[in-house]
Structure 1
């Protein structure tokens, strides 16, 4: 049984829309937001 989740990676087409959904609708918090300079966050 899973008791704790440390990190989940989801690949999405619109990163800003995904952040808005997970923070405003689901109630999650962004801990880190890194940009590799090539369009990947």
Structure 2
């Protein structure tokens, strides 16, 4: 039996509004060192 692990993300050139929202929330919580956040899916 085969097993696959797949990471699905948007291309780097595509705007990620969910990532921007999470980054903003992280900054408000005090995680100012976070520079970029990308949201994706992990399938197994």
TM-score range, shorter chain: 0.3 to 0.5
Give the alignment's TM-score, normalised by structure 1.
Answer: 0.36
* Structure holding more strand per residue: 2
Greater relative CO (CA pairs within 8 A, separation 6+): 2
